[in-house]
Amino acid sequence: MNIGRVLRILFKDFSVGPRKPFFIWALVMPFALTLLFQFAFGSLFEPKPRVGIVDLGNSALTGAVQELEGFEVSILQDEEELIKKVEEHDFDAGLVFPVNFDEAVKSGNKPVLEFYISGESLASNRIVISVTTIEMIRALEGSEPPVDVQMVYFGEPGLPISIRLVPVIVFYALVMAGIWVPSSSLVEEKEKGTLTALLVTSARLNEVLAAKWLLGFIFAIFLASATLFLNQAFGPRPLEVMVVVIIAAALTSMIGLLIGIYSKTATMLFTLIKSLGIFLFIPVVFYLFPEWPQWIAKIFPLYWIISPIWEVSVMGESLDTVWLEILVAVAITLAMIPPLLLLKKRIIS
């Protein structure tokens, strides 16, 4: 196999790709889904309490509120502006710390704390903001809280739906880039006769197939990585996430190459992908419904790439915890090579 010819074919595919509908669709779809899901579910299902603060006396509580996780905190200079934004529901609540507020609290006085609440704020956010504010003032005063609250979770704490949708979006990125792009490119060249013309030159069939696989492989890595980045789902181990993404791209691109070799026409390709779509998509559904028996998902091949992506990127696990899934994914990828070599005769038959 001549690496130079493989790279030239690959460069040709990338250069004409932006003019192809299937290439554009594969590029746009994951980004469109990300924007749609983030807009529809990111703010609808997990709204953060929005707090506005006017600090007239350089209170220590201002810095304490800014350090809180899960809060959107804005510092304003004017009290009237704060009231206006609370009335317009730009903030769930507004706090005004007067001059010498900290000293008054520590000395046992009862300074006035102006606390504005938006009438349209969620009841849950009001409770969170109120309780948090009271606890911070108690800490500033130096008194112990009257009770020691211990939270007991039954089962695993639920994750926001916007996070559970990450495997769905990454799945589409991998399928569109890794499966759809190389298979569509190969079938299009069959139908237009450009593949036959290409094989008349010094290019070999194995080199063409290698270029098509690389096309899907590189594109899948790019789209999956971009999707994870847009959804802020790279987690604390981005390099390990990339290892998993590379393995996932190799597997999906191999599936795409097999489908492209088997399909003689675009109609046959569409029918085959639609038929396999549910079979490929099922593992992702189990991340939307975690109460379902998770062992069922292991029956399907793409579980072995979706699972490590979920564990390493979203859950922050290391590669050591998903080595079995990665090993199975690599084994599935290698197992597709023999049928690919057998089916490649179908291209020139």
pLDDT of residue 69: 73
Please tell me the pTM assigned to this model: 0.66
The predicted-structure confidence for 32-53, as pLDDT tens digits, reads as follows 777 776 665 554 445 678 889 9
Question: Which of 104-108, 263-267, 315-319, 326-330 shows the highest mean pLDDT?
Answer: 326-330
Helix pair angle (205-230, 238-262), 10° resolution:
140
Q: Are 186 and 317 in contact (CB under 8 A)?
A: no
Q: Which long-range contacts (CB under 8 A, 24 or more apart) does 193-199 make?
A: 195/347, 198/9, 199/348
Burial of 3 (0-12, 13-18, 19+ CB in 10 A): exposed
Report the candidate in 179, 174, 256, 185 with the shortest Cα–Cα distance to residue 223.
174
Burial of 28 (0-12, 13-18, 19+ CB in 10 A): exposed
Domain ranges of the chain: 3-41+160-346, 50-141
pLDDT of residue 42: 53
Q: Which CATH class is domain 50-141?
A: alpha beta
- Checking if the pLDDT of 289 tops 80, the result is no
Report residue 18's pLDDT band, with 50, 70 and 90 as the boundaries.
Answer: low
**DSSP-derived secondary structure letter, 17:** G
Report residue 254's pLDDT band, with 50, 70 and 90 as the boundaries.
Answer: very high
Least confident residue range of 117-121, 184-188, 320-324:
117-121
Which tokens in the block code for residue 156?
Answer: 């695993």
The predicted-structure confidence for 144-185, as pLDDT tens digits, reads as follows 544 444 433 333 444 556 666 777 888 888 888 889 889 998
Q: Which residue has the higher pLDDT, 75 or 38?
A: 75
Q: Are 189 and 195 in contact (CB under 8 A)?
A: yes
pLDDT of residue 153: 38
How far is it, in rounded angstroms, from Cα 85 to Cα 78? Answer: 11
